[in-house]
A and B are shown apart, each in its own frame.
Chain A
Amino acid sequence: MARVMAPRDNGFGGRLVPFLSTLFFVLVSVVPLQIPGFAAVTPTFALMAVFHWTIYRPDLLPNAAVFVLGLLLDLLNGSPYLGVSALMLLVARTAVMAARRYFADASFAALWLGFLALACGIFAFAWALVSALRGEVLGTRPFLFEAVLTVACYPVGSWLLVRLHRALVRA
Chain B
Amino acid sequence: MRVSAPVRAAAQRAALPMLIFVSALLTVLGKADIVLIDRVRIAVADALSPVLELVSEPVASVASVVGRVEDAIAVYQQNAVLREDNQRLLQWQEVARRLAAENAALRALEKLVPDQPVTALAARVIADSGGAYMRNVLVNAGARDGVARGQAAMTGDGLIGRVAEVGQRTARILLITDLNSHIPVSVERSGERAVLDGDNSDRPRLVFLDPKTPIQPGDRIITSGSGGLFPPGLPVGVVSAIDKGVVRVEPFAELSRLEIVRLVDYGLAGVLPQSALPPPRLTPRAARLRAVETLR
For chain A, residues 38 to 89, give those with C-beta under 8 angstroms from any C-beta of chain B: 38-42, 59, 62-64, 66-67, 70-72, 75-84, 86-87
Residues of A contacting B199 in the complex (Cβ-Cβ under 8 angstroms):
139
Name the residue in B23, B137, B200 with the highest tally of chain A Cβ atoms < 10 Å from its Cβ.
B23
A82 CA to B27 CA in the complex, in Å?
Answer: 5
* Cβ contact within 8 Å between B26 and A80: no
* Cβ contact within 8 Å between A67 and B127: no
Residues of A contacting B22 in the complex (Cβ-Cβ under 8 angstroms):
67, 83
A123 CA to B45 CA in the complex, in Å?
Answer: 25
Indicate if B180 sits at the interface (CB-CB under 8 A).
yes
* Cβ contact within 8 Å between A63 and B134: no
Indicate if B292 sits at the interface (CB-CB under 8 A).
no
* Cβ contact within 8 Å between A31 and B55: yes
CB distance from A77 to the nearest CB of B (A): 4
Which of the residues A33, A138, A139 comes within 8 Å of B128, measured between beta carbons?
A33
For chain B, residues 5 to 58, give those with C-beta under 8 angstroms from any C-beta of chain A: 8, 12, 15-16, 19-20, 22-31, 37, 40-41, 44-45, 48, 51-52, 55-56
Indicate if B148 sits at the interface (CB-CB under 8 A).
no
CB distance from A106 to the nearest CB of B (A): 23
User: Known interface pairs A64-B15, A139-B199. Does A134 touch B59 (Cβ–Cβ under 8 Å)?
Assistant: no
Name the residue in A62, A78, A126 with the highest tally of chain B Cβ atoms < 10 Å from its Cβ.
A78
CB distance from B188 to the nearest CB of A (A): 26
Which of the residues A28, A76, A87, A130 comes within 8 Å of B133, measured between beta carbons?
A130
Which of the residues A66, A78, A127, A134 comes within 8 Å of B129, measured between beta carbons?
A78
Assign chain A's interface to a size class.
35 or more
Indicate if A3 sits at the interface (CB-CB under 8 A).
no
Nearest chain B residue, comparing its CB with the CB of A131: B133
Residues of B contacting A143 in the complex (Cβ-Cβ under 8 angstroms):
132-133
User: Known interface pairs A40-B177, A63-B15. Does A77 touch B134 (Cβ–Cβ under 8 Å)?
Assistant: yes
Residues of B contacting A87 in the complex (Cβ-Cβ under 8 angstroms):
20, 23-24, 27
User: Known interface pairs A82-B27, A133-B31, A138-B200. Does A77 touch B254 (Cβ–Cβ under 8 Å)?
Assistant: no
For chain B, residues 138 to 167, give those with C-beta under 8 angstroms from any C-beta of chain A: 138, 164-165
* Cβ contact within 8 Å between A78 and B172: yes
Residues of A contacting B51 in the complex (Cβ-Cβ under 8 angstroms):
27
Which of the residues B12, B131, B254 comes within 8 Å of A79, measured between beta carbons?
B131
**Count of A-B residue pairs with CB < 8 Å:** 175
SS class, residues of chain A in contact with chain B: helix
* Cβ contact within 8 Å between B131 and A62: no
* Cβ contact within 8 Å between A37 and B133: no
User: Known interface pairs A63-B15, A78-B41. Does A27 touch B55 (Cβ–Cβ under 8 Å)?
Assistant: yes
Assign chain B's interface to a size class.
35 or more
Indicate if A107 sits at the interface (CB-CB under 8 A).
no
* Cβ contact within 8 Å between A39 and B26: no
For chain A, residues 115 to 170, give those with C-beta under 8 angstroms from any C-beta of chain B: 123, 126-127, 129-130, 133-134, 138-139, 141-143, 145-146
Q: Can you report 30 A-B residue pairs in the complex whose CB atoms are below 8 A from each other?
A: A27-B48, A31-B59, A32-B259, A33-B128, A34-B259, A36-B257, A39-B258, A40-B256, A41-B132, A63-B12, A63-B16, A64-B15, A66-B19, A72-B44, A75-B41, A78-B136, A78-B138, A78-B172, A79-B134, A82-B41, A83-B30, A84-B133, A86-B26, A87-B23, A90-B19, A94-B16, A127-B132, A133-B31, A139-B200, A146-B131
| Interchain residue pairs A-B with the least CB separation, the first 7 | A42-B130, A83-B26, A32-B128, A77-B129, A82-B30, A83-B23, A83-B27
Give 18 A-B pairs besides A39-B258, A75-B41 with Cβ atoms closer than 8 angstroms. Answer: A27-B52, A29-B130, A34-B60, A34-B256, A36-B257, A38-B256, A42-B128, A63-B16, A70-B23, A75-B40, A77-B136, A78-B129, A81-B27, A83-B25, A130-B133, A133-B27, A133-B31, A134-B179
Give the A-binding residues of B (Cβ under 8 A).
Answer: 8, 12, 15-16, 19-20, 22-31, 37, 40-41, 44-45, 48, 51-52, 55-56, 59-60, 63, 125-138, 164-165, 172, 177, 179-180, 199-202, 254-259
